[in-house]
Amino acid sequence: MKVLRNTNGFTLIEILVAMVLSIIVMAGIYS
């Protein structure tokens, strides 16, 4: 199975993980 990559070389999964982590961190700070 091939993994799709964007122009920056990050996999879609890595992008999603980074977004989720960012949301969790922001939620923790502003909670």
Higher pLDDT, 17 or 4: 17
In which domain, by residue range, is 13 found?
1-31
Average pLDDT over residues 13-17: 85
**In whole angstroms, how far apart are CA 4 and each of 7, 14, 31?**
10, 11, 35
What letters, b where the CB count within 10 A reaches 16 and e where it falls short, cover 1-31? eeeeeeeeeeeeeeeeeeeeeeeeeeeeeee
Average pLDDT over residues 2-21: 73
Distance (Å, whole) CA 1 – CA 12: 14
Query: What is the total count of domains within the chain?
Result: 1
Average pLDDT over residues 5-31: 82
DSSP H helices, 1-31, are: 12-30
Q: How much is the pTM?
A: 0.53
How much is the pLDDT for 28?
93
